[in-house]
Structure 1
Amino acid sequence: MSITESDTATDSNTAALSRAGVSIWLDDLSRERITSGNLQQLIAEKNVVGVTTNPTIFAAALAKGESYDEQVEEIKAKGGDVDQAIFDITTRDVRDAAEIFTEVFTASHGYDGRVSIEVSPELAHDTDATIAEAKRLWSTIDKPNVMIKIPATVEGLPAITAVIAEGISVNVTLIFSLDRYRKVIDAYLTGLEQAAAKGIDLSTIHSVASFFVSRVDTEIDKRLDAAGTDEAKALKGKSAVANARLAYEVFVEAFGTERAIELQEQGANRQRPLWASTGVKDPSLPDTFYVVDLVTHGVVNTMPEKTLDAVADHGDIKGDTIVDKYDEAREDLAKLKEAGVDLDEVTEQLEREGVEKFIVSWHELSDTVAGALGKG
């Protein structure tokens, strides 16, 4: 029995998903979830083997407030400023969550048991500041099972390389296009090569590449509706899964190259694809859609709790739903182009909006903490 398969979980839908090769991570974290035992319960009962966070998640957690009152009062008594308060609060949550996942981390030899924390989204277009903040988060939390989230912006790519080169594990976030994904993989491999040159043990470095899913359909389906034709409307709900399936094909090809194999022979780990933004926003789609249609070995699916509960309740796991679907995915994206939808334009827009949305959430988080500190 695996570390995540208790008596209540061995025959569950989430256990079936895990056996199919998908690592289930929770896309949420809060002080209350940690202290109440809820996170430990999800590990035991729903096969959760990791956690991802982002500014929106922390803004929501802090807005509830009560679980943070004691620490906020301590910071207030010391005269701490808002930025330092956010840093102290979020790194404490991530450190405590990482501690809870220690057993999973050890049992999986570092493959899972991961907790991610993101650099400030305001640094998304500042390479040097991103590198500095990633190093600060890593050294402050000081847990081997933490991953530092860096956005896959143009400026983020060299930061990914530099941080990996220091032996720091990275979750690359906000990936929407196949072209950018290829650049992310190259940044990772370059970082590994630099780490090897420094004598760093490559086996200690892990990375995931967070490929966003539902947001792609949300934007494209809006454009298909505007096109108005029956052919266009027939393509709704197909683009995101097709895009993600082809991302997995890119992953398989990239880590089968001579360059990648040479690094793996030195102990390097493959940078796993992670399906992010898997909560279904279109009520006409099944609420487990971005989970059951993206199943294959060696990927991560990070889910909001509502999606996790849906999968546990009625997720129909049918085995691999990616590897034999590449041609179908290409056809769907070709039809999209015929319908007048420019996928490159969409993914560029989504990256821009993704950074902007996280900045808005960061400001909400700042305002909440400022209010609690009496600095609002």
Structure 2
Amino acid sequence: MSNALRDLSEAGVSVWLDDLSRERLRSGNLAELMSTHHLVGVTSNPTIFDKALAEGDAYDQQVRELAVRGVSVEEAVRMITAYDIRWAADTLRPVYDSTDRVDGRVSLEVDPRLAGETERTVAEAKALWWLVDRPNMMVKIPATAAGLPAVTQALGHGISVNVTLIFSLERYRQVMNAFLEGMELARTNGHDLSRIQSVASFFVSRVDTEVDKRLEAIGTDEALSLKGRAALANARLAYQAYEEVFSSPEWKALEAHGAKPQRPLWASTGVKDPSYEDTLYVSQLVARNTVNTMPQATLDATADHGEITGDTVLGTYERARADFAALENAGVDLTDVFAVLEQEGVDKFVKSWESLLNELSAKLDESV
């Protein structure tokens, strides 16, 4: 085992796990990872819950009880996922307390089918916040055009928010603006700003997957030489934008009232191309006050053979801009890339959510 996860934590990166299941909770694995892998947070999504429900018997008893009560499948999903989130939040509560409420966080996503509906997203966020009833929970809201005002409103209600499915720098700046507006609204509404946390989930590996596919289609030597550069350049320029916004007078005014900055969270950090180093999106995105949420395989790889050499983001902005310019010159339409990825991201989560509903519906029927 290397000391990479310890070094990552000491470099200012919070190590979160992008996975959650009832079996992980009841086996004590989550608590074990907190002590052995410097784990200080957990994220979930519809795909993760769909996979968890389909495997093993951990949910059977609760499913039987829900079937006896005759609840709808939508309500059953809420009860099952809230149970896991609540359990994980309680397990991570010591971290939440020891880090002044910054880490020890667990994220639960709103129904992805609401990604185009602001009012219903806000209502669902409020319902989940009430249902889980843990201060170290975060509600995940997608960074769609309709999701942005929902982020502002949810924060204004005092709800901690994980803004997910961010791909472009333009959208990320809109997310940070939504955060600032939400925190100002929360202050106006009388909430304690120090108790509201937010992260902005900036997706990484999916950018390389889409851009590399387009570079291969172009096929020139120049295009092929640019493979594997887009995701890191994108994320590093996002961090530069973060630095700008959270040193602004507008932010300083909120900070004076106890607000904590919305941290960049590197999501989708498992490599999709096996030719890339399996810890690429960990070792090359080290920057203070960030979060890296890793799938289990990436967490294990980093623990086993990762090498953390300090900050790998500061001082890279000029190169990142040059990489973006080279990609555009080679014929990659980055604006289209990000639009495609956002829509695909929503569609994938909707598909997983519907699969989850179908799986649970069948289990409820079997239990009657």
Inter-partner Cα distance in structure 2 for 1:62 and 1:140: 20
Q: CA deviation at 1:268?
A: 0.6
Q: Which amino acid aligns with 1:44?
A: S
Structure 1 segment 134-149 matched on structure 2, within 5 A: 134-149=125-140
Match of 1:53 in 2: 44
Inter-partner Cα distance in structure 2 for 1:109 and 1:256: 21
The normalised TM-score by structure 1 is 0.96
Match of 2:116 in 1: 125
Inter-partner Cα distance in structure 2 for 1:304 and 1:257: 34
Q: Secondary structure at the match of 2:202?
A: strand
Q: Cα deviations across residues 60-114 of structure 1 (Å, max 9, x unaligned)?
A: 0000140000000000111111111100000000000000001000000111000
Q: Cα deviations across residues 109-140 of structure 1 (Å, max 9, x unaligned)?
A: 11100000000000000000000000000011
Q: How big is the alpha-carbon RMSD for the aligned residues of Structure 1 and Structure 2?
A: 1.1
Match of 2:3 in 1: 12
Match of 1:169 in 2: 160
Inter-partner Cα distance in structure 1 for 2:317 and 2:208: 18
1:191 aligns with 2:182: yes
1:81 aligns with 2:72: yes
Structure 1 segment 283-294 matched on structure 2, within 5 A: 283-294=274-285
Inter-partner Cα distance in structure 1 for 2:56 and 2:144: 32
Q: CA deviation at 1:211?
A: 0.2
1:265 aligns with 2:256: yes
Match of 2:311 in 1: 320
Match of 1:101 among 67, 92, 102: 92
Q: CA deviation at 1:12?
A: 2.0
Q: Cα deviations across residues 36-64 of structure 1 (Å, max 9, x unaligned)?
A: 00000000000010000000000000001
Q: Cα deviations across residues 277-298 of structure 1 (Å, max 9, x unaligned)?
A: 0000101100000000000100
Structure 1 segment 1-376 matched on structure 2, within 5 A: 12-374=3-365
Q: Which amino acid aligns with 2:258?
A: G
Inter-partner Cα distance in structure 2 for 1:269 and 1:20: 19
Inter-partner Cα distance in structure 1 for 2:145 and 2:366: 35
Total equivalences in the alignment: 367
Q: CA deviation at 1:31?
A: 0.2
Inter-partner Cα distance in structure 1 for 2:255 and 2:264: 17
Inter-partner Cα distance in structure 2 for 1:81 and 1:133: 16
Inter-partner Cα distance in structure 1 for 2:286 and 2:3: 16
Inter-partner Cα distance in structure 2 for 1:261 and 1:302: 27
List, as ranges, runs of 4+ consecutive aligned residues in structure 1 with deviation greater than 4 Å: none
Inter-partner Cα distance in structure 2 for 1:193 and 1:236: 41
- Residue identity over aligned pairs, in percent, reads 56
Q: Which amino acid aligns with 2:147?
A: G
Q: Secondary structure at the match of 2:106?
A: strand
- Gaps in structure 2 of 5+ consecutive residues: none
